[in-house]
């Protein structure tokens, strides 16, 4: 009879239906019990559709059943805890945006982890999968999306004085930077900022969108909490880097969303390893993999890891995000997979 570790290694060859990633890295294998009578694999895919779960169960059964010495395989579905997976009622009135199907927020426990880079490239990758996407830079103190996508166009308003978003790379976007300069940003503090920001958000003429992506300011303070409480959010994404110190913040990010009863769609580990395009090798600079471990510990999905690559920074600095400029780049492909996971989770029927 194989050991649980050997079974896990075998399951790493089983792909999640429709993805190139395996079921283990998706974090859906919760336990493996090896007994005399056979093997039991416990899976949990809270947001997956029934037919997807069925396919996973079949594939897992087949893969483990084909291992030498396994007499019988059973796949059991772990029921998610009701308090974290179901969509609970918000305690204060939240507003949705007419015409916008989903709103998600990208957050990080600390600054500089690549949150805006992830928000922009994820938005473009989701667009590439056919979704109509809006992007809002909600970071008043350091709006960087403006720079990442280029901001020459002047702001225009509708006759009703609603803000017309700019369009670039097939996505609509607005940034607080459209309306403030460095001096005004400094005098804006606390509640005033959040008030303006939410007003601003609701005053944009978004039109029909499948998803609006909010790039939150770094951290998990009052400003972030207020935005996540005022807007009808469908989910949050937490971006981290692999250093131990950043990982502690993953917990804070996940807790912030839980506090306001917004489901965490998953964790993205950025600058996970260095991808050398010359030798096509991965170089592990920090001990990568912490993001996946922490996600598992927190019971939230792991969406994927992104390497440290010069092209990503250059794309950001030159207003041509990598996902738009070079969709064939391996990192653009990684964004596409993350985008597909996010779309699948958003489209999944609630409460499964
Ligand atoms: N995977 C990566 N590879 C290389 N450079 C990256 C990567 N991710 C982000 N960067 C670069 O790191 C810098 C910080 O990234 P970014 O502005 O996206 O972080 P942030 O978390 O939004 O920061 P802030 O807290 O200031 O909002 C940028 O110059 C960006 O181009
Ligand atoms: Mg940022």
**Together in a domain, 223 and 292:** yes
Tell me if 88 is assigned to some domain: no
Q: How far apart are CA 105 and CA 98, in angstroms?
A: 17
User: What was the pLDDT predicted at 88?
Assistant: 43
- Ligand 1 pocket member 272 (CB < 6 A): no
User: What was the pLDDT predicted at 184?
Assistant: 54
**Together in a domain, 108 and 186:** yes
- Ligand 1 pocket member 109 (CB < 6 A): no
Q: Any idea which of 87-96, 102-111, 202-211, 267-276 has the lowest mean pLDDT?
A: 87-96
Dig out the tokens for 96 from the structure.
Answer: 């949705």
Is the pLDDT reported for residue 222 higher than 70?
yes
**Together in a domain, 237 and 316:** yes
Q: Which residue has the tokens 């830079």?
A: 137
Digit-coded pLDDT (tens) for 45-72: 776 778 888 899 999 999 999 999 999 9
Average confidence score pLDDT of the chain = 83
Kindly state the average pLDDT of the residues 231-250.
84
Host domain of residue 11: 4-79
Tell me if 94 is assigned to some domain: no
Closest C-alpha residue for ligand 1 atom 19: 114
Q: In sequence order, what DSSP letters do the residues of 264-277 get, joined into one string?
A: EEEEEE-S-SEEET
In the sheet that holds 264-269, the strands lie side by side as 166-168, 171-175, 133-137, 209-215, 100-107, 235-240, 264-269, 302-305
**Together in a domain, 210 and 280:** yes
Is the pLDDT reported for residue 319 higher than 90?
no
**Together in a domain, 67 and 111:** no
CB 246 within 8 A of CB 110: yes
User: What was the pLDDT predicted at 274?
Assistant: 76
Tell me if 86 is assigned to some domain: no
Considering only CA atoms, which of 289, 286, 268 is closest in space to residue 331?
268
Dig out the tokens for 137 from the structure.
Answer: 């830079």
Is the pLDDT reported for residue 236 higher than 90?
yes
Tell me if 352 is assigned to some domain: no
Digit-coded pLDDT (tens) for 153-179: 677 888 988 889 999 999 998 887 676
- Ligand 1 pocket member 238 (CB < 6 A): no
**Together in a domain, 154 and 258:** yes
User: What was the pLDDT predicted at 35?
Assistant: 79
Q: In sequence order, what DSSP letters do the residues of 65-111 get, joined into one string?
A: HTSTT---EEEEEPPPPHHHHS-PPPSS--B--TTEEEEEEEE-SST
**Together in a domain, 122 and 260:** yes
Query: Which CATH number fits the domain that encloses residue 182?
Result: 3.40.50.300
Q: Which of 15-24, 161-170, 329-338 has the highest mean pLDDT?
A: 329-338
**Together in a domain, 37 and 117:** no
**Together in a domain, 48 and 177:** no
Kindly state the average pLDDT of the residues 242-261.
82
Is the pLDDT reported for residue 352 higher than 50?
no
Tell me if 89 is assigned to some domain: no
Confidence of residue 191 (pLDDT cuts 50, 70, 90): low
Query: Which CATH number fits the domain that encloses residue 9?
Result: 3.30.300.130
Q: Indicate which ligand has the atom closest to the C-alpha of 175.
A: 2
Q: In sequence order, what DSSP letters do the residues of 153-186 get, joined into one string?
A: SPPEE-TT-PEEPEEETTEEEEEGGGT--HHHHH
- Whole-number Å distance, alpha carbon 217 to ligand 2 midpoint, is 7
Kindly state the average pLDDT of the residues 280-302.
76
Q: Any idea which of 78-87, 239-248, 333-342 has the lowest mean pLDDT?
A: 78-87
Considering only CA atoms, which of 244, 227, 200 is closest in space to residue 107?
227
Q: Compare 285 and 290 and report the one with higher pLDDT.
A: 290
- Ligand 1 pocket member 108 (CB < 6 A): yes
Q: How many Cβ atoms are within 10 Å of 229's Cβ, its own excluded? A: 19
User: What was the pLDDT predicted at 90?
Assistant: 43
- Ligand 1 pocket member 329 (CB < 6 A): no
Tell me if 84 is assigned to some domain: no
Tell me if 118 is assigned to some domain: yes
Give every CB contact of residue 340 below 8 A, 6+ residues apart in sequence.
18, 19, 129
Q: Indicate which ligand has the atom closest to the C-alpha of 308.
A: 1
Q: Compare 342 and 18 and report the one with higher pLDDT.
A: 342
Q: How far apart are CA 92 and CA 228, in angstroms?
A: 11
User: What was the pLDDT predicted at 223?
Assistant: 75
- Whole-number Å distance, alpha carbon 148 to ligand 2 midpoint, is 10
Is the pLDDT reported for residue 313 higher than 50?
yes
Tell me if 109 is assigned to some domain: yes
Atom of ligand 1 nearest to the CA of 117: 18
Structural domain count of the chain: 2
Dig out the tokens for 217 from the structure.
Answer: 């300011």
Q: Compare 150 and 41 and report the one with higher pLDDT.
A: 41
Kindly state the average pLDDT of the residues 78-96.
54
- Ligand 1 pocket member 304 (CB < 6 A): no
User: What was the pLDDT predicted at 11?
Assistant: 92
**Together in a domain, 158 and 269:** yes
**Together in a domain, 177 and 65:** no
Report which secondary-structure segment, H or E, holds 55: helix 50-65
**Together in a domain, 129 and 191:** yes
Listed residues 14, 44, 79: the one ending a domain? 79
């Amino acid at each position: 009879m194989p050991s649980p570790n050997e079974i896990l290694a075998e399951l790493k060859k089983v792909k999640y239906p429709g993805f190139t990633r395996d079921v283990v890295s998706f974090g859906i294998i919760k336990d493996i019990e090896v007994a005399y009578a056979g093997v039991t694999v416990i899976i949990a895919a809270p947001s997956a559709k029934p037919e997807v779960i069925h396919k996973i169960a079949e594939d897992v059964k087949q893969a483990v059943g084909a291992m030498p010495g396994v007499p019988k395989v059973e796949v059991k579905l772990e029921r998610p805890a009701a308090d974290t997976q179901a969509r609970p009622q918000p305690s204060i009135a939240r507003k949705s945006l007419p015409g916008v199907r989903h709103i998600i927020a990208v957050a990080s426990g600390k600054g500089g982890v690549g949150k805006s880079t992830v928000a922009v490239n994820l938005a473009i990758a989701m667009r590439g999968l056919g979704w109509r996407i809006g992007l809002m830079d909600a970071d008043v103190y350091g709006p960087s999306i403006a720079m990442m996508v280029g901001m020459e166009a002047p702001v225009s308003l509708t006759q009703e004085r609603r803000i017309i978003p700019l369009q670039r790379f097939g996505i609509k976007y607005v940034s607080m930077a459209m309306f403030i300069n460095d001096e005004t940003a400094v005098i804006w503090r606390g509640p005033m900022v959040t008030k303006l920001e939410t007003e601003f958000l609701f005053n944009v003429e978004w039109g029909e969108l499948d998803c609006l992506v909010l790039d939150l300011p770094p951290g998990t303070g009052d400003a972030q909490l207020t935005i996540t409480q005022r807007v009808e959010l469908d989910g949050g994404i937490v971006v981290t880097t692999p250093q131990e110190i950043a990982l502690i913040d993953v917990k804070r990010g996940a807790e912030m969303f839980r506090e306001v009863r917004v489901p965490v769609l998953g964790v993205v580990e950025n600058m996970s390893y260095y991808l050398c395009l010359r030798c096509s090798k991965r170089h592990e600079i920090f001990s990568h993999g912490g993001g996946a471990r922490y996600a598992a510990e927190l019971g939230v999905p792991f969406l994927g890891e992104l390497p440290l690559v010069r092209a990503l920074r250059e794309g950001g600095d030159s207003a041509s995000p990598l996902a738009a400029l070079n969709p064939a780049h391996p990192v653009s492909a990684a964004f596409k997979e993350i985008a597909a996971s996010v779309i699948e989770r958003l489209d999944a029927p609630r409460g499964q």
